[in-house]
Amino acid sequence: MSEKVLIVDDEKEIADLIEIYLKNDGYTVYKFYNGRDALKCIEETAPDLAVIDVMLPDIDGFRLCQKIREQFYFPIIMLTAKIADEDKIMGLTMGADDYITKPFNPLEVAARVKTQLRRYMRYNNQAGKRTEETEEHDIRGLLINRDTHKCSLYGKELQLTPIEFGILWYLCEHQGTVVPSEELFEAVWGEKYLDNNNTVMAHIARLREKLHESAKKPKFIVNVWGVGYTIEK
């Protein structure tokens, strides 16, 4: 069965163009020009990925992303005409996994969709696959299991996106070692790190929020300024 991709963009020409390229790649596409119809579709079809424009006629893309994250954890790619870092960070903080700035090459969108879906499917198909590597870490009440793709804090399950899970797992795997942002990005995203990339920082901020910790007094993820991040032993 082909993966289901949701497109939400009020610019019909852009939505239609993305639809054509994704259908050519074999995806089942659901296309909407506003957020409310998109939310209804999500409830009924549970897509595998969503491509959402920031500027929508009813609710903005940030709010739509936030609403989706209340129940669903499939990858979200944001489309934005703005290039300011704060807009990108806002989307990532709300739970987006990636962003693309307009104007864009539709081939890039198709490639990003493929990358996010591959990562999502990999993280969600670990159950039953045993290896000689460590499958679980228990760090001061934080329990994370790669085999089941579950994470809990003091016995309460945390709802993490695949990207958030990947970041936390990598830091747990390297507990006691400072992991540079470049290394963390390339390990989790599987792409080349670019200068001034705030993606890692935004996802770390969201992870800390879910772990109920502050950046000033973290219990788990410590920021070593100018170097990277670590979970101390």
State the average pLDDT for the chain.
85
Which pLDDT score, from 0 to 100, does residue 2 have?
83
pLDDT band at 96 (very low <50, low <70, confident <90, very high): confident
* Whether residue 103 has a cis bond before it, omega within 30° of 0: yes
Which pLDDT score, from 0 to 100, does residue 129 have?
40
Q: Quick: pLDDT tens for 190-205.
A: 777 776 567 888 899 9
**Cα 136 → chain centroid:** 22
Tokens 């960070």 map to which residue? 89
Which pLDDT score, from 0 to 100, does residue 8 have?
97
Lowest pLDDT segment from 53-57, 63-67, 129-133: 129-133
pLDDT band at 128 (very low <50, low <70, confident <90, very high): very low
Nearest of 48, 56, 53 to residue 4 by alpha carbon: 48
Neighbours of 157 (CB within 10 A): 10
Spatial distance between the Cα atoms of 175 and 229, rounded to a whole number of angstroms = 10
Q: Quick: pLDDT tens for 5-62.
A: 999 999 999 999 999 999 999 999 999 999 999 999 999 998 999 999 998 999 889 8
Spatial distance between the Cα atoms of 92 and 98, rounded to a whole number of angstroms = 7
Quickly list DSSP for 189-204.
H-S---TT--HHHHHH
pLDDT band at 127 (very low <50, low <70, confident <90, very high): very low
Which pLDDT score, from 0 to 100, does residue 125 have?
56
Tokens 């936390």 map to which residue? 168
pTM to 2 decimals? 0.64
Which pLDDT score, from 0 to 100, does residue 172 have?
93
Spatial distance between the Cα atoms of 189 and 212, rounded to a whole number of angstroms = 24
Which pLDDT score, from 0 to 100, does residue 30 have?
97
Q: Quick: pLDDT tens for 169-187.
A: 999 999 989 999 889 988 8
More confident residue, 70 or 47: 47
Tell whether the model's pLDDT for residue 126 goes beyond 50. Answer: no
Spatial distance between the Cα atoms of 216 and 82, rounded to a whole number of angstroms = 30
- Cβ(188)–Cβ(163) under 8 Å? yes
Cα-Cα-Cα-Cα torsion 207, 211, 213, 216, nearest 10 degrees, comes to -30
Question: Looking at residues 131-159, what average pLDDT do you find?
Answer: 83
**Helices 162-173, 106-123: inter-axial angle, 10-degree rounding:** 60
Instruction: Supply angle C-alpha 222, 199, 106, rounded to 5.
Output: 165
